[in-house]
Chains A and B, each alone.
Chain A
Amino acid sequence: DTAVSQTPKYLVTQMGNDKSIKCEQNLGHDTMYWYKQDSKKFLKIMFSYNNKELIINETVPNRFSPKSPDKAHLNLHINSLELGDSAVYFCASNDGGAYNEQFFGPGTRLTVL
């Protein structure tokens, strides 16, 4: 059973388009995240939701809009895609335990042409 899943795995699109990435976790966790990994492999937090409520928004352009229809899902919609949005996007969820361990999805590689 996949714990944190993302779709699609690869996304190739033209500049100016709008696209969405979906994330689902079946771990029963309350908190979910989106991270961005750039071409140099650097990972940075974008958003976090706790039980459908936004709790972190790290100076991400407002072209990026997360949506959490329920605590098991956190989707990322991106408007007017730019070349600089090309990256790997990781979804994660947090078990809320003593370590606050995060479990990551397989990533979505977005390429904007």
Chain B
Amino acid sequence: GNSVTQMEGPVTLSEEAFLTINCTYTATGYPSLFWYVQYPGEGLQLLLKATKADDKGSNKGFEATYRKETTSFHLEKGSVQVSDSAVYFCALSDRTAASKLTFGKGITLSVRP
């Protein structure tokens, strides 16, 4: 079956530090890939997405590139802010009729001023 593996957390960074959150996946076929963010006490928001190899998703300074050869979709940001503190989820959608999302375990990011 499909699976998503995220690096273990939590992660604590100082403001303006560089962020990388690793994500790898296992899937049959050619999934769509997503990063979702959950701010404290809130629901899930789509952060960025990619649908084919070498696609780069980007939003709010975050980027991730769909790497088919390494089955990865690592999230990066050049300079994090305190407001980026949240839980980040990597997910894939299998493009079947149901197209359910399979999520990684999520990683908590805390950014210190």
Contacts and interface: CB of A to CB of B under 8 A. Distances in A.
Nearest to B93: A100
A113 interface: no
Given A41-B106, A42-B106, A99 B49 contact: yes
Contacts of B49: 99, 101
**Dominant SS among interface residues on chain B:** strand
Contact of B106 (A43, A55, A98): A43
B46 A48 contact: no
Range class of the A interface residue count: 20 to 34
Contacts of B34: 99, 101
Interface of A: 31, 33, 35, 40-45, 48, 50, 55-56, 90, 92, 94, 96, 98-107
Given A104-B44, A105-B43, 5 more contacts: A33-B101, A41-B105, A42-B105, A48-B100, A99-B93
